[in-house]
Structure 1
Amino acid sequence: MSLTVLAPGLLSSFQDLGRYGQQHLGVPVGGAMDERAHRLANLLAGNTESEATLEITLLGPRLRIDAPCCLAVCGADLQATLDGRPVPVNRPIIARSGEVLKFGARKSGARAYLAVHGGFALEPVLGSCSTNLRGRYGGYQGRALAVGDIVRLNRGLAGAALDELAQELWNLRIYLPASLGAPARPRLRALRGEHAQLFKAAALRNLYSAPYRISPQSERMGYRLQGPKLELQRPQQLLSEATCFGTVQVPAEGQPIVLMADRQTTGGYPKIAHVASVDLPQLAQCLPGDSVGFEEIDIAAAQRLDAQRVAAFARLSQALAPLRALLESAHGGAAADARAPAAADAGTGGAGGNAGATEPSSTEAGPDHV
């Protein structure tokens, strides 16, 4: 039960919800850049939301399926195909042994997430299967996928009735809660940061009115933005503090950095704002050269949006109970769970539905060097 990497793509690495509880030791949280797409892929694959998924950046891999499985692709539309047949985003798909999953030209977004029912057989490091690319640990041997890699799956499907299972999955009517459809907003919602009062009034006006362009010097650690300079009232020396996903820090040159999934654990640049966590998935799907804007909200609004997002995922999980039952019944005489306490690394799953509209969420904070 495995996938064989025929071509690795631009950057394909396993990510889960992150490595929490270790920041005081200098260990970054990491995890999926687009948590919403990651969680969706897992739920639509019949998994828990914490399973690892394969995060695929812009140019996708070519993977040979070596055992029957159920998979789901969410997030960016990279025009995936399975043996030449289009793979719809946000649907569960049955893949047969020997078929090849391939990703084509980008249609929208920057990052797609592949989940496989039962998950990838990865070994957790400090409680997480997320790949830390700088530290070279977690995921698959601590790195992005390479040609010839063989990634084991935790569970396979019985081969006898795959056509019937595929039809039953297709017949399931699955509707995503409006809040999880996430159409792009013209401006990202953000809260004032704890150091906002240290900036000139013009800096705050610029941040919440002017467009900023994502710099080519942007990656999983942080997005550098280019636009009107954000100036302090006077030079300040600040103590380093813990960082969070979504914090907008401003180095001395006045060009902001939004801290992303692989942010460092502490930072000392002034924090002018925090992007509401409900809008971080939209930012994670942006590319260098894209423009972003910000609009100010307060913490009560951010918390309300976050609560709506949590409730939407709970409703979706409950609605997908028939899907999970179908997939469990398909394991009948299939190979046993291959989760290994020793081997290589641990991960994710997949299966899907029909889309709907959108909802929002809370806040978080962020790095010094990107």
Structure 2
Amino acid sequence: MIRVLASGPLATTQDLGRWGWGHLGVPRSGPADPPSHHLANRLVGNAIHAATVEVLRGGLTVEFLEPALLAITGAPVGACLDGVPVAFGATVWAPAGTVLSLTVPRFGLWSYLAARGGFDLEPQLGSRSADTLSGIGPPPLAPGQVVPIGDLVAGPPAATDSLIGLSDRRDIEMRVSPGPRHEWFTRQAQELLVTTAWTLSADTNRIAARLTGPELTLVEPRQLPTEGLQIGSIQVPPSGQPIVHLANHPPTGGYPVIAVVDESDLPMLAQSLPGTVVRLVRRAPGRPA
């Protein structure tokens, strides 16, 4: 078990999310940066579906009430056990009674803390993911809370592994394919989408990232009934400023989707700080994502 002493701006448990409930209006949720979540679990020998603690911009402090093998990945935070620096992106042994503290990362937003066995809060609809959109799942971690460690172990910890290629770049590129309402937009808007150096707005969270730049306009004003959304969908609201849906996106929406970002490119966006330049490029037809 761990006891939360400080939670920072936001700390939640995340596993692979709630698959198969979209038709009932339940978001999938899950980690903002799945590769970093998976790596943390591999480093401690957990099953892929074990829950980690996802931490926004550091500030988490926890006490280990029992011995544990831990790993920290994602946005590169400084980590100390009882004030002594420990390795990032590697397995670390935490004796009972020691206190782990995480600093603000050098770059990026989301860091992941895994403990061998996984964090064992009560699942809701088959998942331990905290859903910040609907409120389903365990609530965000709070000081004084005790979180059990479970037994979701898959094998020995990884002897070697590689960190996900996060960097402090402030200019990223993502591949897009035409969305279901692509033809609703003017030719100029279609071209602006893939030729503009968009800026990532501060109005960004686990649900979606807002891009700022020129207005994307429709061929003619039209009303759209609510329809299904998938992760990576780029909706365009009446403001004409595109919104890219991330891990905690709603399952439906009423704004037209001009394009869809390849899911494998989304962790890069999720880890980007406001002000990052975002370029969208057309994915070549027939080529794998």
Asked if Structure 1 and Structure 2 have the same fold, meaning a TM-score greater than 0.5 normalized by the shorter chain, the answer is yes
Contact 1:41 1:74 in 2 (8 A): yes
Where does residue 154 of structure 1 map in the other structure? Answer: 150
Q: Distance in 2 between matches of 1:175 and 1:30?
A: 26
Q: Compared with structure 1, are the counterparts of its residues 144 and 299 closer, same or farther at alpha carbon in structure 2 (3 Å cutoff)?
A: farther
Where does residue 312 of structure 1 map in the other structure? Answer: none
After superposition, the C-alpha distances for 1:241-266 in whole angstroms (9 at most, x for unaligned) are 11111110001121000111221111
The one-letter amino acid of 2:218's match is: L
Where does residue 272 of structure 1 map in the other structure? Answer: 258
Where does residue 129 of structure 1 map in the other structure? Answer: 128
| CA drift at 1:94 | 0.8
Q: Distance in 2 between matches of 1:98 and 1:262?
A: 34
Where does residue 211 of structure 2 map in the other structure? Answer: 225
Which structure has greater strand proportion?
2
Q: Compared with structure 1, are the counterparts of its residues 87 and 296 closer, same or farther at alpha carbon in structure 2 (3 Å cutoff)?
A: farther
After superposition, the C-alpha distances for 1:258-285 in whole angstroms (9 at most, x for unaligned) are 1112211111211111111111110110
After superposition, the C-alpha distances for 1:206-245 in whole angstroms (9 at most, x for unaligned) are 2112121222222111111111111111112223211111
Contact 1:229 1:254 in 2 (8 A): yes
Alignment of 1:83-102 (within 5 A): 83-102=82-101
Alignment of 1:1-370 (within 5 A): 2-139=1-138, 143-155=139-151, 174-176=160-162, 180-181=164-165, 186-298=172-284, 300-301=286-287, 304-305=288-289
Q: Distance in 2 between matches of 1:173 and 1:214?
A: 37
Which is worse superposed, 209-218 or 29-38?
209-218
| CA drift at 1:182 | 5.6
Q: Compared with structure 1, are the counterparts of its residues 148 and 14 closer, same or farther at alpha carbon in structure 2 (3 Å cutoff)?
A: same
Q: CA RMSD in A?
A: 2.1
Q: Distance in 1 between matches of 2:180 and 2:133?
A: 29
The one-letter amino acid of 2:150's match is: N
Q: Distance in 2 between matches of 1:87 and 1:206?
A: 46
Q: Distance in 2 between matches of 1:83 and 1:245?
A: 40
Q: Distance in 1 between matches of 2:243 and 2:15?
A: 24
Contact 2:31 2:54 in 1 (8 A): yes
Gaps (5+ residues) in structure 2?
Answer: none
Q: Secondary structure at the match of 2:222?
A: coil
Q: Secondary structure at the match of 2:140?
A: coil
Larger RCO: Structure 1 or Structure 2 (Cα < 8 Å, ≥ 6 residues apart)?
A: 1
Q: Distance in 1 between matches of 2:30 and 2:277?
A: 24
Q: Distance in 1 between matches of 2:277 and 2:74?
A: 19
After superposition, the C-alpha distances for 1:145-165 in whole angstroms (9 at most, x for unaligned) are 111111111259xxxxxxxxx
The one-letter amino acid of 1:79's match is: G
Number of corresponding residues: 284
The percent of aligned pairs where both chains have the same amino acid is 38
Q: Compared with structure 1, are the counterparts of its residues 51 and 266 closer, same or farther at alpha carbon in structure 2 (3 Å cutoff)?
A: same
Q: Distance in 2 between matches of 1:79 and 1:9?
A: 14
Which structure has greater helix proportion?
1
Q: Compared with structure 1, are the counterparts of its residues 222 and 65 closer, same or farther at alpha carbon in structure 2 (3 Å cutoff)?
A: same
Structure label with greater radius of gyration: 1
The one-letter amino acid of 1:17's match is: L
| CA drift at 1:288 | 2.4
The one-letter amino acid of 1:80's match is: A
Which is worse superposed, 236-245 or 49-58?
236-245
Q: Which runs of 4+ in 1 moved over 6 A?
A: none
Q: Compared with structure 1, are the counterparts of its residues 120 and 218 closer, same or farther at alpha carbon in structure 2 (3 Å cutoff)?
A: same
After superposition, the C-alpha distances for 1:320-340 in whole angstroms (9 at most, x for unaligned) are xxxxxxxxxxxxxxxxxxxxx
| CA drift at 1:290 | 2.3
Gaps (5+ residues) in structure 1?
Answer: 157-167, 306-370
Q: Compared with structure 1, are the counterparts of its residues 95 and 285 closer, same or farther at alpha carbon in structure 2 (3 Å cutoff)?
A: same
Which is worse superposed, 248-257 or 76-85?
76-85
After superposition, the C-alpha distances for 1:184-208 in whole angstroms (9 at most, x for unaligned) are 6731111121211221122122211
| CA drift at 1:67 | 1.0
| CA drift at 1:39 | 0.9
